[in-house]
């Protein structure tokens, strides 16, 4: 036969824990107040930051993510600290919701605009003859492979200038040939990678770098490929 919990009389059940209640007439106004404060703070900081940041790229990503990162965890901590006080808990939950909508939604849109303007940097997309992108390649010594490259991360509207291409290789045994040395953003260009017959069996890195200058600023796009050089087939 089990004993009753200490501090209770036999036949009398232990008291239920005292959980707070959140009536709608108390919860809803405080929740809307927290959401309204978060929304107002989002657009106020966005407007102020846009006026103070003179660079088209620098600082804008931090500005877009600052409030979602502060209001979300901060609102949850505030709610947890005041969970027995319905009005304060509802205020914190309102801040949490505001960190998602509109703060995170607006921040994601701002980051998408920055990427479209080339603020996220550029890259080179390598693709096989079939059109699928590749990041690794296997070549027998003494053979070659034709690929295509494309300058991504920039658009002809944001960077209308010409990009100068430069081949890069970590070993003399792998050669990167670029029939074209200048391209525009988004334009496809041919790339040939050759493993010379004397290339050692190993994994090497090759790449292509593209640079352009616009309004005194240099924009760069680069990517690399891992090439696994295998022994040449026996005759």
Predicted TM-score of the model (pTM)? 0.57
Q: Say if residues 68 and 46 touch (Cβ distance below 8 Å).
A: no
The tens digit of pLDDT for each residue in 72-112 reads 999 899 988 888 888 888 899 999 999 998 999 998 888 88
For 123-230, CATH gives 2.60.40.10
pLDDT tens for the chain, 235 residues: list them: 455 555 555 555 555 555 556 667 777 888 899 999 999 999 999 889 888 887 777 788 888 889 899 999 998 999 888 888 888 888 999 999 999 989 999 988 888 877 766 676 788 889 987 678 888 999 999 999 999 998 888 888 778 889 999 999 998 999 999 999 999 988 899 999 999 998 889 999 999 999 998 877 888 888 899 999 998 877 6
Instruction: Give the separation between CA 229 and CA 226, rounded to whole angstroms.
Output: 10
For 90-125, give the DSSP string: HHHHHHHHHIIIIIIHHHHHHHHHHHHTTTT-BEEE
| Domain ranges across the chain | 24-116, 123-230
Instruction: Give the separation between CA 208 and CA 112, rounded to whole angstroms.
Output: 26
Nearest to 174 by CA among 209, 208, 198: 198
């Amino acid at each position: 036969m089990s004993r009753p919990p200490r501090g209770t009389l036999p036949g009398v059940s232990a008291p239920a824990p005292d959980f707070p209640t959140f009536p709608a007439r108390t919860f809803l106004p405080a929740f809307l107040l927290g959401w309204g404060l978060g929304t107002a703070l989002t657009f106020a900081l966005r407007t102020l930051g846009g006026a103070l940041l003179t660079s088209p790229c620098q600082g804008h990503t931090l500005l877009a993510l600052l409030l979602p990162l502060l209001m979300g965890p901060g609102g949850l901590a505030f709610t947890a600290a005041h969970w027995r006080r319905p009005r304060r808990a509802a205020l914190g939950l309102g801040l949490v919701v505001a960190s998602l909508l509109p703060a995170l939604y607006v921040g994601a849109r701002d980051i998408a605009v920055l990427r479209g303007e080339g603020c996220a940097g550029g890259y080179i997309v390598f693709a096989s003859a079939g059109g699928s992108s590749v990041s690794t390649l296997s070549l027998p010594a003494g053979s070659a492979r034709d690929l295509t490259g494309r300058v991504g991360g920039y658009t002809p509207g944001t960077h209308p200038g010409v990009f100068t291409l430069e081949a890069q290789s970590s070993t003399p045994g792998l050669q990167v040939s670029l029939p074209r040395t200048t391209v525009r953003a988004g334009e496809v260009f041919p790339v040939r990678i050759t493993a010379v017959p004397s290339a050692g069996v190993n994994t090497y890195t090759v790449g292509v770098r593209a640079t352009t200058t616009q309004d005194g600023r240099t924009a760069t796009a680069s990517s690399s490929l891992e090439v696994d050089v295998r022994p040449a087939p026996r005759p």
